[in-house]
Each structure stands twice: as structure tokens, then as C-alpha cells.
A and B are shown apart, each in its own frame.
Chain A
Amino acid sequence: MMSLDCPHCGPRDENEFHYGGQAGVAYPAHETTDEEWAAYVFLRDNPKGWFRERWFHVHGCRTWFTVERHTVTHEIRKAP
């Protein structure tokens, strides 16, 4: 089990958290084509390596936060 560093509660076990997927997916600023809207709804990066992602401390303080995690080693570091 991974340990995640909640910014409010400190390091806690992974199963206190809910995964939120890729960080920084912005809502489209303007009218979109169908393709742009599909990209916003369905397309996410899926890198083999470092990944900026959201986590939710659902069984704790209920803070959402962003970390960088390596998708092979599962190493976690603070998101810049």
C-alpha cells in the first residue's frame, strides 16, 4: 500500500484516499467542437513515468491535492 502525504493531515495510507486522475484538466474556455469537447471529457494523459495527479482525502479531512507519482515505481514527490 502506498503512503500519500496529505497537505493537512500528513502521511496516511492509500486506502484513506480516492483517486482523482490527471491534474490540471481545464474546463474549455470557449465554445467547443465535438472533437474538442470529447477530448476534454475523455482524453487523459497516460504516461509511463512521472504523472501529475489529483487525490482526495475522502476518509480524512476531505482535501483535494496534487502530487507527482511515478507510474512504474509508484514513488511520490511534491508537485511543483
Chain B
Amino acid sequence: MTHHPDFLWRDPDPRPAYDVVIVGGGGHGLATAYYLARNHGITNVAVLERGWLAGGNMARNTTIIRSNYLWDESAAIYEHSLKLWEGLSAELDYDLSFSRRGVLNLAHHLGDVREGRRRVNANLLNGVDAEWLDADEVRKFCPIVNVSERARHPVLGATLQRRGGIAKHDHVAWALARGADAYGVDLIQGCEVTGFELRKNRVVAVRTSRGRIAAGKVALAAAGHTSVLAAQAGLRLPLQSHPLQALVSELLEPVLNCVVMSNAVHVYVSQAHKGELVMGASIDAYNSYGQRGGVHVIEAQMAAALELFPIFSRVRVLRTWAGVVDVSPDASPIIGRTPVENLYLNAGWGTGGFKATPGAGWVYAHTLAHERPHPLAEPFGLERFSTGALIDEHGAAAVAH
């Protein structure tokens, strides 16, 4: 065999200077590059990736897409993202397998019920589709969930967002990379940023493992490694990096027709197109960049999953892994300018960044192009931690962002 299928993007060497250098070649970095070119005509752009494209959290998440967040600011930005998802396969001319199969968020006690109903009402006021299902309706919608009153975690009801679902994360990354590349964006892999060159309080270049690259603007999109990069520019950020574990089972026949999430028992489950069950856990409590977590976290997650789905009791785990997620104090992202001139920030998406991929790229590109936050990004600026205008999404995000 000498034939290799065509590559979807070039593999260029870095040029000495770009208008915009994006640090991080994951979903958000690629989407930002794509929308910089598509929406703003800015194509003299490099995306620098330490490893290979989309090999970090983009390859490690559980691909859940939804927009049913509580507060107006969050609902607006996640709904913007969901609307982009709805047209993204056509836009990128690539089948992203975005399957709107519905996302259930289970309620296990009266507090959950009140919180869930409140969130449904808040979503409806924000034009986000949302329904409240009682236990019997949950059973009809997803017959394999154990809704018995005698269950360890009785199901009292659930919120349902029918437009939510899952997509194929690697297709998303490849399609965005191909799209950005076609506009002339340089996607540079194996290129680690090791420092920033500052003149007074302005970033003018990045130092990398492949040499110095001058930059009109530098845009961080590095998820769990944002703090490490920001420290090289002298910035401290309200972020802590944690392992977030997930697992897949062996391949099964179609058995689970929707996404099921439960904040109270810290588990979220869907069945991938290929057939494996994909389950996410809660973060490990400690700070880590190790891309691995404790087995006891997986054990607790499995115990909860088996209570909810007794039918899975003999399913075998195929593999587990972890990503490094950057968690902010209010479980909301941080987007916008920084105290360092021309250094921009898109971080703090924590456990829930995948669903925001197109939306984050859209508003971040706008913020870079106009040198001020996109209206949807404005509430998510760094300054909210001193003004006190936090956007507390621990309820809608919890572990299962």
C-alpha cells in the first residue's frame, strides 16, 4: 500500500509573523480561526498546537450538546451555539453526525424538581426549548431508565431539551480545520508556546518550540493549560485545572435513545453512533495536569449508572481516560481582553466546552476582530470577579456541564 488518502489540511511551517496567533488547536481554537476568516476576513492567522490538532479535550469529551442553562447570559451564548450546530454540517459540508436525540436531566429529590421546573420556565422565557416530564413521561421517553419508587435514586421527573443531543467530535474538529485551512489559516502542529514577548504591557510575539512568531494579537484557547500560558505573560487567573474522567463500554446494539444526565448522582450517559455507551464522571477534586484520575471516581460513577440503568449491569468497560479541564469559580467561561494589551482570553469552559465550540469560536473571533467583546461575550469578562457580577451556573452545569 503506497496510497494515502488526501489530507484535509496543509501541514505548514510557521511563518515569522501573523495578524492573529491562536494558542491551542482544539475545537475552540479551530472554530475561532474559522470564524475569523469567514465572518471578518482575517486570514493571516496561525493556530499553534503543542501536540496534534484536537488531541486534548476535544478528543476526550462526551460530546453532549444542549443550551438549557439557567441564567439569561448563559442561555443566550449556549443557544447561539446550538443554533450554529443546527446548520454546521451544511455550513462545513461535512457530516458531523449531530443527532438531536433529546437531553434528559433527571430530578431525584424535591430540590431537584424545583430547580428543574424553574430552569424549564427560565429556558422558555429565553426562547430555549424545554419541557418538564414527570416520572411516567420519563419512562415513556427513555424506557430503560429505572423509575421505580424503590430505586436508590428515585426518578421524580426530568427536564427535557429535545433539540439537544450529541455529535462526532473528531468530525467537528476535522471539518473546522479543513474550513479554516481553505481560507489560508496556518494550522501548525507540534509547536509549543514557551513564552511571550512583551513590550511595555503589550504582547508582540510568542516564543515557541519552533521559533519566535510575531503576532498582532494573541488569543489563548488552551483549556486546561490556560493558567500555565497566562503565567508566562505575568497573569494570574481565577482558574483551577482538574482531571475530568470519562469511559466507554464495549459496543452494543442500539439501546439508549437519548442523553441522560443526573447531577445528583454525577453521571451522564449516551450511546455513541458506533454503539458504545459513553459515560462521564465528576471531576477529581485535586488540581492536576496529569490527564488521569482516581479509579474510585469511576467506581462511584458506575455505581450510580447501574442504579439508573439496571439493564447495563453486565456491560463491560472498554477504556477510561481523563482530560484536563479549567474550572472557574462560577462554572461559567471567561472570554475577552486581559490586562495585557493584545492578549485575549477564552477559557474556563470547565467541563462543558464542547457544546460551545461554534458559539465560542464565533464570539471570540468577533471579540478579536473588533477589539471589544461580542455582546454575547460581554457578561463573561474577567472583570466580573471584582465587580461581583458572577454568572453562577453550578446548578445547570454541576459536574455534567
Contacts and interface: CB of A to CB of B under 8 A. Distances in A.
A74 B295 contact: no
B288 A71 contact: yes
A45 B124 CA distance: 39
A26 interface: no
Contacts of A46: 227-228, 237, 239-241, 287
B387 A72 contact: no
B231 to A, nearest CB: 8
Contact of B240 (A35, A44, A48): A44
B2 interface: no
A71 B332 CA distance: 23
B294 interface: yes
Contacts of B227: 46-47
Interface residues of A, number: 28
B236 A14 contact: no
A64 interface: no
A45 B294 contact: no
A44 B327 CA distance: 12
B387 A34 contact: yes
Contacts of A37: 386
Interface string B205-225: 000000000000000000001
A35 B294 contact: no
A48 B329 CA distance: 19
Given A19-B286, A48-B289, A2 B238 contact: no
A51 B294 contact: no
Nearest to B226: A46
Contact of B288 (A35, A44, A45, A74): A74
Interface of A: 1-2, 13-15, 18-19, 21, 34-35, 37-39, 41-48, 51, 53, 69, 71-74
Interface of B: 225, 227-228, 231, 236-241, 285-290, 294-296, 329, 385-388
8 contacts: A1-B295, A19-B285, A21-B287, A42-B238, A45-B236, A71-B288, A72-B288, A73-B290
